[in-house]
Amino acid sequence: MLMFKDRRPAIRTLSGWAISVLQEAGAIRECEEHGWMHDRADPHARERASDIARQNPPAGVSADEAVKDIRDVMDSIGDTCLECLPKAD
């Protein structure tokens, strides 16, 4: 008999959820070559991400906690890829 297991949520951690929201809002992007996240330095995108977190927090998480996690993840992301070499002038 064929049995199905319950599906796991696509995003398993609050940080993973925050990264997804930040990408959706356009606040961060991924280095095409290495996969590191970059801060796009767009204050409007950061605010959009906070609004999304406030209006649609993950199940079991308060809106304040969701916004805090968005800010924590955003603060941990730099504006350069750790593996890309600086371009020579």
Q: Where are the domains of the chain?
A: 14-75
How far apart CA 33 and CA 46 sit, in angstroms, is 24
For residue 10, what pLDDT is reported? 59
The model carries a pTM of: 0.77
How far apart CA 28 and CA 42 sit, in angstroms, is 9
Q: Higher-confidence residue: 80 or 42? A: 42
Between 17-21, 31-35, 74-78, the lowest mean confidence (pLDDT) is in 31-35
**What are 24-69's pLDDT values in tens digits?**
999 999 888 888 888 988 999 999 999 999 999 998 899 999 999 9
Look-up of token digits 């995003």: 11
For residue 4, what pLDDT is reported? 55
